[in-house]
Amino acid sequence: MSPYQLHCSGIDRKALVKYEIIRTNCLFIKTSTRRLADEDDELSEVQPDAVPAEVREWLASTFTRQMATSRRKTDDKPKFRTVAHAIRAGIFVDRMYRRVNTTTLLQFPEDVVKSLKNLDDWSFDIFHLAEATNGQPIKYLAYDLFSRYGLIPKFKIPPATLETFLHRVEEGYCRYRNPYHNNLHAADVTQTTHHMLCQTGLMNWLTDLEIFATILAAIIHDFEHTGTTNNFHVMSGSETALLYNDRAVLENHHISAAFRLLKNEDCNILSRLSREEYREMRSLIIEMVLATDMSSHFQQLKNMRNLLTLNEATVDKPKALSLVLHCCDISHPAKRWNLHHRWTMLLLEEFFRQGDLERELGLPFSPLCDRNNTLVAESQIGFIDFIVDPSMTIMSDMLEHILSKVNVSPGEDPTSDGDPLSAFSKQHSTRRHKILKPWAIWLAENKKIWREQAIKDAAARLSDKIEKIETADSENAEDTGNAAQ
């Protein structure tokens, strides 16, 4: 429950402070030594017989590449917020929301308000929100997040400008009528990113500008997606591939198109940033969105895993936020089954449409794009085992490493010696941070269901094959008999 939700339910400020104490307590639960992910998850280590050839080809073509992107230098060691800061931040956001809500131009329908009450949940139902918003999930979800995090007053964003920007973003996502890479996917990734910020405590490691950049990057990370892959753009020689020299074709377009949109005065929610703030914002967004290029997946995980094995490793914020956004982008197999299955079917339909286009253009089918020859269950098992599960594991290790260093400095604690907050802060300041991992149970559950489905599918294919053989034998026997007569 967020401060905004507490406000809506009529809970007073004392209850809000109590809530923040309890929430912070959860963030500093003592845990055993973190397990290091020392196994190598490079695709080269996947045994040839671990997955079907088609699935392995898809993994190789989608999640690997020849060259890794260059990285910026590590930032200076960040400053950390205290427990008291987190509590004050909660009160601040609540106050600001009350102030902004009285002047906001965007009215939230009752069904939308009800849906957004569950916005902090890991398996938030974005499809339900899309229905409640009449197909405008980005508009209402993002506006609510800007309010919850206090970004509207902090960065002096005119409500009308924010509403116009979100409306135009929504239009851009619907431009190609994609089954998967559309405004629902963008809203889902944005909500998942919000969960990572608020439910793990990551927001307490970030400045307001970094929170702003993270949410905005999630919102625009697939802006104007064409519904086809980078490889398709390269193989078909599209104008976009020519423009970006075959490198991170779509990701470069998402960023460029979004910043071109922001140049319009009626959409420029960054207009009140200083020159330095704008450069930092743009740099963060560029790095985060480029990191969603699936071909950099294994290198990104390998770099982070190696970094975490070092003593006193310092993770810089762009790399950390890039990994978080990448994980949120591929997180649907870690959600509740009904959500994951629905996303899977939508993505496969998008793949199949690309396959149909490849057939028309005389191009070879990309992996998983042939609607008549795709192993659905096996592809999802491979996706979970070799992509999603290792990603979530390394991200979890990274977050626990980062947040274990978010210690309380007694000199910064404004509470009195007799205040229970002060005692709590001192008691928990050196404890190792442990995050909740709601995705773990769903990854295991979903993989189990897919394995059961794979067995059924294999049996069905075998049955069809036997039936075809028997039919052929019967026809041959009939032809032989006719010939004998």
- Output the pLDDT for position 278: 99
- Output the pLDDT for position 55: 79
- Output the pLDDT for position 454: 98
Query: What does the block give as tokens for 414?
Result: 């404004």
Given a cut of 80, whether residue 287 has pLDDT beyond it is yes
> Residue 406 and residue 412: Cα distance in Å, rounded?
13
> Nearest CA to 288 among 248, 233, 339?
248
> What does the pLDDT average to over 3-20?
46
Query: What does the block give as tokens for 301?
Result: 């995980």
Active-site residue flag, 85: no
Q: How confident is the model at residue 45 (pLDDT cuts 50, 70, 90)?
A: low
End-to-end CA distance of the chain: 83
One CATH from 1.20.140.10, 1.20.1280.290, 1.20.120.80, 1.10.1300.10 for 3-71+80-484? 1.10.1300.10
Percent of the chain with pLDDT over 70: 75
- Kindly report the backbone phi and psi dihedral angles of residue 225, in degrees, each rounded to the nearest multiple of 5, phi listed first: -65, 140
Residue 144: exposed, middle, or buried by beta-carbon count in 10 A (0-12, 13-18, 19+)? buried
Instruction: Write the Ramachandran bin of 218: left for phi over 0, alpha for psi from -120 to 50, otherwise beta.
Output: alpha
- Output the pLDDT for position 476: 77
**Residues that constitute the known binding site for Zn(2+):** 185, 221-222, 329
Q: How confident is the model at residue 144 (pLDDT cuts 50, 70, 90)?
A: very high
> Residue 252 and residue 215: Cα distance in Å, rounded?
18
Question: With the C-alpha atoms ordered 348, 353, 359, 364, is the resulting torsion angle positive or negative?
Answer: negative
Domains of the chain, by residue range, sit at 3-71+80-484
- Output the pLDDT for position 85: 52
Most confident of 3-17, 34-48, 104-118, 147-161: 147-161
Contact residues for 412 (Cβ-Cβ < 8 A; gap 6+)? 82, 84, 85
> Nearest CA to 317 among 406, 256, 251, 390?
406
Q: How confident is the model at residue 99 (pLDDT cuts 50, 70, 90)?
A: very low
> Residue 215 and residue 189: Cα distance in Å, rounded?
10
- Output the pLDDT for position 430: 42
| Pure H helices in 384-419 | 389-403
What helix, strand, coil percent values describe the chain, rounded to 5?
65, 0, 35
State the DSSP string of 355-375: HHHHHHHTPPPPTT--TTS--
> Residue 297 and residue 330: Cα distance in Å, rounded?
11
- Output the pLDDT for position 76: 42
> Nearest CA to 146 among 165, 121, 168, 130?
165
Given a cut of 50, whether residue 34 has pLDDT beyond it is no
Instruction: Write the Ramachandran bin of 248: left for phi over 0, alpha for psi from -120 to 50, otherwise beta.
Output: left
Q: Say which residue, 22 or 150, is predicted with more confidence.
A: 150
- Output the pLDDT for position 193: 99
Given a cut of 50, whether residue 484 has pLDDT beyond it is yes
**Residues that constitute the known binding site for AMP:** 181-185, 222, 329, 380
For the stretch 107-117, pLDDT in tens is 999 999 999 99
What is the identity of the amino acid at 287?
E
Catalytic residue among 7, 85, 181, 233: 181
Which residue do the tokens 């979970």 mark?
384
> What does the pLDDT average to over 75-93?
47
Given a cut of 90, whether residue 324 has pLDDT beyond it is yes
> Residue 410 and residue 423: Cα distance in Å, rounded?
10
Given a cut of 90, whether residue 158 has pLDDT beyond it is yes
> Residue 320 and residue 315: Cα distance in Å, rounded?
7
Contact residues for 88 (Cβ-Cβ < 8 A; gap 6+)? none
Residue 175: exposed, middle, or buried by beta-carbon count in 10 A (0-12, 13-18, 19+)? middle
For the stretch 218-253, pLDDT in tens is 999 999 999 999 999 999 999 999 999 999 999 999
Given a cut of 60, whether residue 185 has pLDDT beyond it is yes
Q: How confident is the model at residue 42 (pLDDT cuts 50, 70, 90)?
A: low
Calculate the average pLDDT of the chain: 84
Please state the separation of Cα 19 from the chain's center in Å. 27
Q: List C-alpha distances in Å: 392 to 222, 308, 325, 342, 439.
A: 21, 14, 11, 21, 8
> Residue 34 and residue 309: Cα distance in Å, rounded?
11
> What does the pLDDT average to over 263-273?
99
Under 8 Å between Cβ of 124 and 138? no
Which of 15-19, 56-60, 204-208, 376-380 shows the lowest mean pLDDT across its residues?
Answer: 15-19
Please tell me whether residue 327 adopts helix, strand or coil conformation: helix
pTM: 0.78
Under 8 Å between Cβ of 116 and 143? no
- Output the pLDDT for position 362: 98
**Residues that constitute the known binding site:** 181-185, 221-222, 329, 380
Query: What does the block give as tokens for 359?
Result: 């057939």
Q: How confident is the model at residue 460 (pLDDT cuts 50, 70, 90)?
A: very high
Given a cut of 70, whether residue 101 has pLDDT beyond it is no
**DSSP structural state of residue 78:** P
Query: What does the block give as tokens for 64?
Result: 């690997």
> Residue 124 and residue 79: Cα distance in Å, rounded?
32
> Nearest CA to 348 among 362, 363, 332?
332
Q: Say what angle helices 159-173 and 208-220 make with each other, to 10 degrees.
A: 30
> What does the pLDDT average to over 340-360?
99
Residue 70: exposed, middle, or buried by beta-carbon count in 10 A (0-12, 13-18, 19+)? exposed
Question: With the C-alpha atoms ordered 302, 304, 305, 310, is the resulting torsion angle positive or negative?
Answer: positive
- Output the pLDDT for position 176: 98
> Residue 338 and residue 177: Cα distance in Å, rounded?
22
Given a cut of 80, whether residue 95 has pLDDT beyond it is no
